[in-house]
Amino acid sequence: MPSAEVGPPPDEVGPPPDEGSARCSAKGCTADAVWALRWNNPKLHTPERLKVWAACDDHRRHLSDFLAARGFLRDVVPLRDAAGSRS
Ligand SMILES: [Zn+2]
């Protein structure tokens, strides 16, 4: 089983956190997501705009490392909290 690969951060792709059962954003993973990785690419996004990647327990660290390595990661919160923060 190959180690999980993660492609470049999709710009407009990413499961919306308010759709109930979000899927993990990791490539090839079909697990239900339980974490929301909130990130921002300052080259593409205004500072107040947060993108959200959903991640399952297994991929939370992998995906957050990927974003953190690029300086994009803002925070990681339980998906429920991220969804609940939207009106
Ligand atoms: Zn996953």
- The rounded Å distance from CA 56 to ligand 1 centre is 4
Q: Does residue 2 lie within any of the structural domains?
A: no
Q: Does residue 4 lie within any of the structural domains?
A: no
- The rounded Å distance from CA 79 to ligand 1 centre is 13
Residue 13 has pLDDT above 60, yes or no: no
Domain, as residue range, for 67: 15-81
Q: Does residue 46 lie within any of the structural domains?
A: yes
Report residues near ion ligand 1: CB below 5 Å.
24, 26, 29, 31, 56, 59
Q: Does residue 63 lie within any of the structural domains?
A: yes
- The rounded Å distance from CA 18 to ligand 1 centre is 18
pLDDT tens for residues 42-58?
999 898 899 999 999 99
Indicate the pLDDT class of residue 86, thresholds 50, 70 and 90.
Answer: very low
Q: Does residue 34 lie within any of the structural domains?
A: yes
- For the chain, what is the mean pLDDT? 81
Instruction: Give the list of residues 6+ apart from residue 57 with CB closer than 8 angstroms, or none.
Output: 31, 34, 35
Distance of CA 41 to the CA centre of its chain: 13
- The rounded Å distance from CA 62 to ligand 1 centre is 9
Q: How many domains does the chain have?
A: 1
Tell the residue number behind the tokens 């974490």, with chain if given: 35
- The rounded Å distance from CA 37 to ligand 1 centre is 12
Distance CA 57, CA 70 (A): 21
Q: Does residue 70 lie within any of the structural domains?
A: yes
pLDDT, average across residues 57-75: 96
CB 47 within 8 A of CB 57: no
- The rounded Å distance from CA 57 to ligand 1 centre is 7
- Predicted TM-score (pTM) of the model is 0.69
Residue 8 has pLDDT above 70, yes or no: no
End-to-end CA distance of the chain: 40
